[in-house]
Chains A and B, each alone.
Chain A
Amino acid sequence: SQQGEEDPQALSIQEGENATMNCSYKTSINNLQWYRQNSGRGLVHLILIRSNEREKHSGRLRVTLDTSKKSSSLLITASRAADTASYFCATDERSGNTGKLIFGQGTTLQVKP
């Protein structure tokens, strides 16, 4: 079953604007991760937020986690054309405790120059 689901599926913005992507999940987690995938490439880890954290920053990235709503958001500020990629959230399942990650279907972001 799908653990993480991203919203929206696709997003198109102008360079300089902010981009917000959301992720919802179903079961209790230990941590949630966000990854980026450029076309034809492997996934690249962006940020990991633990279940006891509410917000985390890395450069132009800001991730929030609301465990009561089982949701997370990824904000990219001052977007650049190079941010064009697909973004995935990934969660483990605390009950399973196997260390297995389940990825969502992703949000495709297009940043127009």
Chain B
Amino acid sequence: DAGVIQSPRHEVTEMGQEVTLRCKPISGHNSLFWYRQTMMRGLELLIYFNNNVPIDDSGMPEDRFSAKMPNASFSTLKIQPSEPRDSAVYFCASSFAGGYDEQYFGPGTRLTVT
């Protein structure tokens, strides 16, 4: 199994641009998570899907952030417009049963907004 796949691995963009991060969860997993990690705030859960349906998006910072999961094998996290304070490492993770089970993390996307 290839594990959780994220793309791109690195993204550098200018303020105001749209950024789309992609994630392919492990086949058979029912839950998908998007996290953001910074030195200041640590690891924050942004949004959590179960069976492709958003269960908890309370961590999404503001309307500039949106996430979709059109099918069981693909999810996107979009930031529009991007701002320098969005610079962080964004992780996608998947599991069989949400927080009741171990989560498998992707390698992350390092986003830099200048």
| Chain A residues packing against B (C-beta within 8 Å) | 30-31, 33, 35, 41-45, 48, 88, 90, 92, 98-106
Contact = CB atoms under 8 A, between A and B. Distances in A.
Contact of A42 (B48, B100, B106): B106
Given A42-B106, A44-B105, A98-B55, A103 B99 contact: no
Contacts of B43: 43, 88, 103, 106
A31 B100 contact: yes
Majority SS of interface residues in chain B?
strand
A43 B45 CA distance: 13
Interface residues of B, number: 25
Contact of A100 (B4, B42, B56): B56
Interface of B: 4, 31, 33, 35, 42-43, 45, 48, 50, 55-56, 91, 93, 97-108
Contacts of B33: 101
Given A42-B105, A45-B104, A98-B56, A103 B48 contact: no
7 contacts: A33-B102, A42-B108, A43-B105, A45-B104, A98-B48, A101-B99, A103-B45
Contacts of B104: 45
Counting chain B CB atoms within 10 Å of each CB, the highest count among A44, A45, A104 belongs to A45
